[in-house]
Amino acid sequence: MNKEVLSLIFLFQMYGQSFCRNGTRPNIVMVMSDAFDGRLTFDPGSKVVKLPYVNYLRELGTTFLNAYTNSPICCPSRAAMWSGQFVHLTQSWNNYKCLDANATTWMDLLEENGYVTKSMGKLDYTSGSHSVSNRVEAWTRDVQFLLRQEGRPVTRLVGNMSTVRIMRKDWENTDKAAQWIHQRAASSHQPFALYLGLNLPHPYKTESLGPTAGGSTFLTSPYWLKKVSSELITVPKWLPVDAMHPVDFYSTFTKNCSGVFTVEEIKSIRAFYYAMCAEADAMLGQVISALRETGLLNNTVVIFTADHGEMAMEHRQFYKMSMFEGSSHVPLMIMGPGLMSGLQVNQIVSLVDLYPTVLDIAGVAAVGHLSGHSLLPLPSKARVFSKNQHPDWVLSEYHGCNVNASTYMLRSGRWKYIAYADGLTVPPQLFDVTLDKEELHNVVLKFPDVQAHLDKLLRGIVNYPEVSKHVHLYNRKAFGAWRHSVGTNYSQVIANLRWHVDWQKDAFAYERAIDKWLDGSL
């Protein structure tokens, strides 16, 4: 650990003695990364790459070892975090349809209750964003036609050992956040809430595939790559293609990962991804340093999390959009006055818990029904009893592209149960994540009583067959409206999306498959 981090630890131990020092409400700073694997915040994952500021939060704050996204894709996940409600309640079905711009977030409530608030960087939780490709892929996922929707994952090395700032937009936003902290320290005694959204370590667009390409390039410099311990990079085990669950196979194909990858390619992709995580960690560090330099660290609660993880070639996939741990397991670390240091919490939690937690920290009453529960009683030194204890399960759901059935994950105890569509047409999965950390053994047939219990519990939380039906109807209607909007240009527009097919050969067949899907369902 470097000297700066050691000095930060010393200062925090000196001054971070009370939750609301001198009777004042604490400042709140949240840094939300994109596609950061939560397993890197604790052992053994934390050993593969040097993340000094994540390590700093782990030593002086609380690490939640079992934190999950409520939807493993950007916008629906962030919509759940900002609203405190599950995806099926907000109807945030994909990266295009999320929250209304006027939806009340926890930041709005803090502002109404005397906090100075500021949001910077990637927000990505309201409806209407993202590319035409992304939304069409989501709307037409039920079409019986396989498309390689993503570019093959690749790596790209830039710069040299002095090249530090690669994701320039993120660094610009981080600089602005640090400057804002300095301005707040000099101008006001009001408590503040600052949110910084990062794009890293999300893969970069693959420019060689044209302007509509998705993000399939893992890009870094020698400076960050040196932070990775190459000897500790594991090569994940893959099931044979013919043994894969049908939805997992669909995802593998659409993510362009069904071909041959050498061991060197796989290790390189994973190394570059870890290096990108190291760059994101440095941005977190700049925010923490600004709090220290201004004397605000001792009365500020710092939260680090992410919208989802990154598969990084686990299960023959990259990107997110999966309920496997690499995609669904997120970091969640909280540090602040009155909170315990070095605590690791096993309680299963999710991003919807951040809404009530932040309000609890600020002493602000929540408004309306929330899906989450405050986590503050868990790391608090006061150990205040909460009448609203957190349940022993979390829910995650997915309705977007690269997956051809609505997906529902219930994590409870040692079990991860995954149900699809109407619960009948697509077989479920059951993993014992304690014994089978790589999630290679679907034991749903071996433990029918466990499956029955968890399916009953899941149906008590969400009537998932009805939700799946609702999403299916939405997809048809939304795609039909879009197709009508482009008129006679439809064939040309759809041919120019980012799918990696031979359009001379397959465009006509795909259009006919869409027509059949629409005509057979409407």
Per-residue confidence (pLDDT) for residue 465, from 0 to 100 = 98
Q: Which helix (H) or strand (E) segment is 518 a member of?
A: helix 503-521
* Residue pLDDT, tens place only, 267-314: 999 999 999 999 999 999 999 999 999 999 999 999 999 999 999 999
Burial 484-497 (b: 16+ CB within 10 A, else e): eeeeeeeeeebbeb
Domain boundaries along the sequence of the chain: 27-519
For residue 277, indicate whether it is catalytic: no
C-beta separation of 147 from 254 below 8 A? yes
What is the rounded distance in angstroms from the CA atom of residue 479 to the CA atom of residue 132? 11
DSSP secondary structure of 421-490: TTSSSS--EEEETTT-TT-----TTT-HHHHHHHHHHHHHH--HHHHHHHHHHHHHHHHHHHHHHHGGGH
Report the percentage of the chain scoring pLDDT > 90. Answer: 81
In this structure, the dihedral spanned by the alpha carbons of residues 230, 236, 237 and 241, taken in order and rounded to 10 degrees, is -130
Instruction: Considering only the C-alpha atoms of the chain, give the largest distance between any 2 of them, rounded to a whole number of Å.
Output: 71
- CATH class for domain 27-519? alpha beta
Which residues of the chain fall below pLDDT 50? Answer: 7-22, 522
Selecting among 74, 257, 277, 401, the annotated active-site residue is 74
Q: Where are the beta strands (DSSP E) in 136-263?
A: 154-157, 192-197, 204-205, 215-220
| Six token digits for residue 32 | 């939300």
Cα 148 to the chain's mean position, in Å? Answer: 23
Which token pair is 485? 């909007």
- Whole-number Å distance between alpha carbons of 31 and 286: 11
Instruction: Tally DSSP H helices, then E strands, for the chain.
Output: 16, 14
